[in-house]
Amino acid sequence: MMQWIKKKLYYFAFVLFCGSVLSTAYIHNVSSENTFDRIQAGQWVVASMYWEDKLVSTGKTFNPIGWHAAHKTLPIGTLIRVSNPKNHRSINVTINDRGPFVADRELDLSLGAGALLGFKGLGTVYMEVLSIPPTKNHRRPVVESLFAASDANANCVGGVTAC
């Protein structure tokens, strides 16, 4: 009987040791929701949905069931996370258009994105900017040369002739 108890205690100590070792092991997060860290603080915005057939700002045909949105100032191609506070759903959408062109409204969601959020019509959502597409490396004139006293001193960088 004593041998059996000793054997069970060794087995329990071994399982406890293995559990403590495995609890310190790194587990990779496989959730696609958390693969992006926000790069700009989130904000509450008034949003609506749109579904008209038209061309978007990129020149492509609008896909009403896609996961897209229109914003007035964010660059085209920006990835944002939009969350509906009423049902705690969130979705990552891409800015592919300009708008909305209505006062007091900051975001237009495509019909597909709005349906996945459980969004109906007009309401308030929480928007976080996840990534902004890289800007093209344009050569710009030196700021000091724009305010030079004479044209002889106004030299531009990169061979730009008109400052």
Higher per-residue confidence, 19 vs 122: 122
Whole-number pLDDT of residue 153: 45
pLDDT class for 82, splitting at 50, 70, 90?
A: very high
Cα–Cα dist 141/159, whole Å: 9
Whole-number pLDDT of residue 31: 43
Q: Are 53 and 45 in contact (CB under 8 A)?
A: no
pTM of the model: 0.60
Whole-number pLDDT of residue 33: 47
Q: Residue 91: name the closest of 121, 118, 72, 61 by CA.
A: 118
135 has pLDDT over 70: no
Q: Over range 136-153, report the average pLDDT.
A: 50
Whole-number pLDDT of residue 30: 44
Whole-number pLDDT of residue 154: 46
Q: What is the DSSP letter of 75?
A: P
- How does the average pLDDT of the chain come out, rounded? 77
Tell me the per-residue pLDDT of 33-68, one tens digit each, with 9 for 90 and over: 445 566 777 899 999 998 887 888 888 888 888 899
Q: Where are the domains of the chain?
A: 37-131
Cα–Cα dist 27/148, whole Å: 59
Q: Which CATH architecture has domain 37-131?
A: Beta Barrel (2.40)
Query: Measured on CA atoms in the order 115, 120, 125, 127, is the torsion positive or negative?
Result: positive
Helix (H) or strand (E) holding 5, with range, is helix 2-23
What phi and psi, each to the nearest 5 degrees, are found at residue 114?
Answer: -65, -35
